[in-house]
Structure 1
Amino acid sequence: MTTDFIPTEGYLQTISHATETIKAKLANTKLANPRVMIICGSGLGGIADILDDSSKIEISYEKIPGFKTSTVQGHIGKLVFGLIGDKKVPVMCMVGRLHFYEGYTFQQTTFPIRVAKILNIDTVVVTNAAGGINSQYKPGDLMVIEDHINFPGLAGWHPLRGPNLNGFGPRFQPLSDAYDYDLRKLFLTTARDKLKITRNIHEGTYFFAAGPTFETRAEVRLIRALGGDAVGMSTVPEVIIARHSGLKVLALSLITNAGVGEKPPSAFHENPIALDQGMASHDEVLQAADEASKDVQRIIESVVNEL
């Protein structure tokens, strides 16, 4: 039987090599013991700009054993270490994530989370660009993730498939507490009460679809019926591995486009509406992310400063 995962011993050795490579770069600096990992979603790589410039250390994925190259526009492919806020919280920013649709296994896409655990990081902040499924969500809105639907996982494509890494977590990982309540509360109170952000902020359920195609109209209706408020092609595998590793999770979706769920125009109609009306594109995703990125950066900076 063929497998899509690296044997446990080899995988653990690669995690160790990656960790030692990173530690060597951070040795004898204020960044030697990062506490928070921030994963930057599509168009949100600017989050790394909130790090104190004088403290930054950058490491390309290509120079870290086990890290794969990000192939998606807007995902540079490097770790950026630095200090955030008045309290100088040491963080590791992952500028450019890896996706299942790029041809990588879940074991490869979530590899950086395992490395973060060995670096003694205790909190992961995950960001993404997502399509709005809830009819109340508009492009530019933010959604704090309170729960998720792992659609590929329900069909067997799960990031914990294969031999369990007992040193990280249990064989059967509970996920009813996947998204930390205190972190969600801190995010919302910081955005609304402290920073007075006027952008719409929701709490909702993230639906993970493997991609890389954007959803059909029928799929949008299906996701809505199943309880998804937003849909995207990332985040859930990382969250699952983070929880399996005992890390606390705060996750945020930037709504970059509205899912088109109306049935397509009928060929029986003489003058139907344009079939491409409302159609999503990656350029639209990046544009919406750019417009909202400053608010996202301000909130994350303030939240991480309190951790």
Structure 2
Amino acid sequence: MDRSYVEQIIESAQWISDQIGRRTLDVGLVLGSGLGDMAQQVEDAISIPYGNIPHFPVSTVEGHAGQFVIGTLEGKTVIVMQGRFHYYEGYSMKKVVFPIYVMKQLGVKALVITNAAGGMNRGFQAGDLMLISDHLNMTGDNPLLGVNHPELGPRFPDMSQAYSRSFRALAKQIGERMGQERGEPIRLQEGVYAGITGPNYLPPAELTMLANLGGDAIGMSTVGEVIAASHTDLQVLGISCITDMAIGEHLEPLTHEQVVAVANRTKPVFIELVRRFVQEVSV
């Protein structure tokens, strides 16, 4: 992590700050595949394509709009990543997590990270939401490799509560209330997210291995971003939309279009859960 990396973070944040009138930001949201529509609910919004921001990469994945949306949601000022960057796109892990440091530099105090994931826990089903309690970093990389800069965070950051327990507790309470109001329980699970590089979906033997290691869901994002968030002292709520079942012994062919289709069907519950969390979280 050379000095120019820190300078690029500062320059990107300064450029964004100039565009938004230097307003203070409360909550950052990273929206995964098929979930970007939530950005349309941000009020008084300013949209900034990633390609316009100095030093930013550009998202290349279908279903990712590739822009920041900044405005007001449930009484708080939010910055929404409508699309993220992935290791499998060819970006370095430092580039993948670059926006997390920029959001911290802009004053964000809490982070909501979402993704589409395959369910490895046999008690799950497609369409469930899973609160991430922990993760398995199976990417073989780490965004903190190299020289550490104390202005970003400590050399050896603690990961014992990388996914905030208090944030998960609040999300569970909100989910229970939503279920009571709807007259049927919200399928809100909790578990461990296994992060892989992708872009291929895993074969049965590897899925069985990861399930045996303790993984409840699997996806191609999130772990690097959460490591960076922990490094820079951002509290995180992680939510996976379980778009398919990835049980090694019963694996069926899967396409990205199927993943996005299930994420789209789950959107109303997902969006309501996140909106209420943003409204009620203390920052």
TM over 0.5: yes
Distance in 2 between residues matched to 1:195 and 1:16, nearest whole Å: 43
Distance in 1 between residues matched to 2:178 and 2:219, nearest whole Å: 29
Distance in 1 between residues matched to 2:71 and 2:86, nearest whole Å: 25
Contact 2:122 2:247 in 1 (8 A): no
The one-letter amino acid of 2:4's match is: G
Superposed displacement of residue 280, structure 1: 1.6
Contact 2:119 2:247 in 1 (8 A): no
Superposed displacement of residue 194, structure 1: 4.4
SS class of match (2:248): coil
| Residue 254 (structure 2) aligns with | 280
Question: Which of these two proteins has the greater Rg computed from alpha carbons?
Answer: 1
Which one of the candidate residues 61, 64, 73 is aligned to 2:53? 64
Contact 1:138 1:255 in 2 (8 A): yes
SS class of match (2:78): strand
Correspondence 1:224 to 2:211? yes
Correspondence 1:235 to 2:222? yes
- Aligned pairs for 1:253-268 (under 5 A) are 253-262=240-249
Distance in 1 between residues matched to 2:217 and 2:247, nearest whole Å: 12
Distance in 2 between residues matched to 1:251 and 1:190, nearest whole Å: 15
Correspondence 1:183 to 2:172? no
The one-letter amino acid of 1:23's match is: S
| Residue 49 (structure 1) aligns with | 40
| Residue 251 (structure 1) aligns with | 238
Contact 1:66 1:108 in 2 (8 A): no
Distance in 2 between residues matched to 1:293 and 1:193, nearest whole Å: 18
- Aligned pairs for 1:200-215 (under 5 A) are 200-215=187-202
Correspondence 1:172 to 2:146? no
Superposed displacement of residue 195, structure 1: 5.7
| Residue 13 (structure 1) aligns with | 7
Which one of the candidate residues 259, 266, 270 is aligned to 1:292? 266
| Residue 83 (structure 1) aligns with | 72
SS class of match (1:165): coil
* CA distances 1:94-129 after superposition (whole Å, capped 9, x unpaired): 001000000000110100001111111111100000
The one-letter amino acid of 1:24's match is: D
- Aligned pairs for 1:21-170 (under 5 A) are 21-27=15-21, 32-52=23-43, 55-85=44-74, 88-152=75-139, 155=140, 157-170=141-154
The one-letter amino acid of 1:176's match is: S
Point out where structure 2 has 5 or more consecutive residues left out of the alignment.
none
Aligned length: 278
Percent of residue pairs identical: 37
Contact 1:140 1:199 in 2 (8 A): no
Distance in 2 between residues matched to 1:253 and 1:45, nearest whole Å: 14
Contact 1:195 1:299 in 2 (8 A): no
Superposed displacement of residue 17, structure 1: 1.2
The one-letter amino acid of 1:81's match is: I
Distance in 2 between residues matched to 1:151 and 1:220, nearest whole Å: 12
Superposed displacement of residue 201, structure 1: 0.9
Check 1:199–1:280 CA distance in 2 against 1; reply closer, same or farther (3 A cut). Answer: farther
Contact 2:175 2:186 in 1 (8 A): no
Contact 2:176 2:186 in 1 (8 A): no
Q: What root-mean-square deviation, in Å, do the aligned CA atoms of Structure 1 and Structure 2 show?
A: 1.3
The one-letter amino acid of 1:38's match is: L
Contact 1:147 1:206 in 2 (8 A): yes
The one-letter amino acid of 2:145's match is: R
The one-letter amino acid of 1:139's match is: A
Superposed displacement of residue 49, structure 1: 2.3
SS class of match (1:124): strand
